[in-house]
Homo-oligomer: A and B are copies of this chain.
Amino acid sequence: MAFTEFRPLDEKSLIEYIKTVPALHSRLGNNLDDIKIKEVGDGNLNFVYIIVGPDGSFVIKQALPYIRCIGESWPMTKERAYFEAVALREQARLSPEHVPEVYHFDRTMSLIGMRYLEPPHIILRKGLIAGIEYPLLAEHISEFMARTLYFTSLLHRSTTEHKRAVAEFCGNVELCRLTEQVVFSDPYKVSEYNRWTSPFLDLEAEAVRKDNILKLEVAELKSKFCERAQALIHGDLHTGSVMVTRESTQVIDPEFAFYGPMGFDVGAFLGNLILAFFAQDGHADQAYDRKTYKAWILRTIEETWNLFRKKFIALWDEHKDGSGEAYLPAIYNNPELQLLVQEKFMDDLFHDTLGFGAAKMIRRIVGVAHVEDFESITDASRRADCELRALEVAKLLLKERRKFHAITEVISAIQKF
């Protein structure tokens, strides 16, 4: 069988496909006897197959020309697989310990072959729901974010490299538009896709749609998202795009990658941790009251930001005489000024982080795609209670973000709700 044209694979045709691709076939020791194939795509958009044989394993991810969880009625370019592959490779180059290796990419088939993150790797979100602590999570994810964002920004790149890369990722426009719609638009208007825990949050959902100050601030964030090509961002860095064990942290699924504002990634991650925090009261039971776990989540939020800040500045200091064109050494090579410039940069990034993080929280409560953290709380009234507190914090953070200057202030605010 030849695969010269796109076609959706299934467990059966996948085997035929693997036979035609030495880079995959050889990963199984060229032995297709006794291999097991399992489709595990619990994600929203694509099909993911795990292929395990006696002599090796890998994962195949295929994009179909629509959004999986909605169906063919919501078309979506399968070219997203191309941008995912480019981003995966770039991120793996910059942060190899936290990104699965890409073994194979087939643009015609919109198909990526990559390392299988074996058990006990699980999706971080599921670990957070189960109440499992990950002692290295803050260290690892801050490393991933600091390195991928710093090295793809003008702090490290020349304008020439930057504009070439920006131009290429302008091609991922359909995925950008999806974000624009579901994060920055739908929650603030009546939309057929929106849902929330009804009737408990009916008034709150309406309040979001009627909140002029909130909508004013969301417009500013949306402009930044659409216009500001600051770094190659993952674009979908929630806790469902991270796979973890106690020792390992792996970032997957950068199909939304493009040159956008750094705060969108940092905010996505922290915002989803805040959601996880507020979901805990819905998971608590007599066997596990979640008190110390909630404290661990807050600590992880705090450490993630602080480590990110530290690592980002360390990279900046280390490479300040490098080829980055934003702050030329001949102008900024003066310790006092360097400090001033970095403080301002990180303060601005902190505000972006809070704004984008809050916007991502809001959309998970009153928009189209919800999070399992809350969805798994079966009692609707109890769930609504958790969601309501998260929503209130998010609105505060979004509107008042410029008043916050340290992550501890954010933690204090969270604790008040």
Binding site for B on A (CB under 8 A): 154, 159-160, 162-164, 166-168, 170-171, 173-174, 176-177, 180, 185, 188-190, 212, 215-216, 219-220, 222-223, 226-230, 325-328, 330-332, 334, 336-337, 340-341, 344
Contact = CB atoms under 8 A, between A and B. Distances in A.
A336 B215 CA distance: 12
Contacts of A174: 160
A154 B328 contact: no
Contact of A154 (B171, B223, B337): B223
B159 A166 contact: no
Given A163-B173, A167-B171, A190-B330, 14 more contacts: A154-B223, A159-B177, A166-B166, A166-B170, A180-B325, A185-B328, A189-B330, A189-B331, A215-B337, A215-B341, A219-B327, A219-B341, A226-B326, A227-B229
Contacts of A188: 331
Contacts of A340: 212, 216
A216 B326 CA distance: 12
A341 B216 contact: yes
Contact of A173 (B154, B160, B173, B219): B160
A211 B180 CA distance: 40
The secondary structure that dominates the A interface is helix
Contacts of A173: 159-160, 163-164
Given A215-B332, A337-B212, A341-B216, A226 B154 contact: yes
Given A167-B170, A219-B332, A223-B154, A176 B190 contact: no
A227 B166 CA distance: 9
Nearest to A330: B189
A80 B304 CA distance: 45
A173 to B, nearest CB: 4
A163 B159 contact: no
A178 to B, nearest CB: 10
B160 A337 contact: no
A150 to B, nearest CB: 14
22 contacts: A154-B227, A159-B177, A159-B180, A160-B174, A163-B173, A166-B170, A167-B167, A167-B171, A185-B328, A185-B331, A189-B328, A189-B331, A212-B336, A212-B340, A215-B332, A215-B337, A215-B341, A216-B341, A220-B344, A223-B230, A228-B229, A229-B229
